[in-house]
Amino acid sequence: MDNFLTVIAIIIGLNAAICLYRAVVGPTTQDRLLGVNIVGTKTLVVVVLVTFILAENFFLDVAFVYALLLFVVTVAVARYLEAEGWKEAA
């Protein structure tokens, strides 16, 4: 079972790299924000998988805090960009 979860964590990590590319290259600010949010979510999933692989409960606490921070930062950045009018950097 641990090998299966390790393979899944690697696949999710590779998928996060693809999303990170979209966050860096994305043609619009919305694409960049969504790409960063997806990378954060995939990182959260990998932390939860590592929790199950290593059978350590404190990683789950770290995952909860990371999820809360990810949500707060995403909402704050979206509200800031909404106030600024989603202008593209030249």
> Does the structure show a pLDDT above 90 at 2?
no
pLDDT in tens, 54-69: 888 888 988 899 999 9
The CA distance from 41 to 46, in Å, is 9
Claim: this prediction has a pTM higher than 0.75: yes
Tokens 């979510």 sit on residue? 41
Mean pLDDT of the chain: 87
Res 52 pLDDT > 50: yes
Task: State the number of CA atoms in the 13 A half-sphere of 72 facing the CB.
Answer: 6
- Split at pLDDT 50, 70, 90, the class of 87 is low
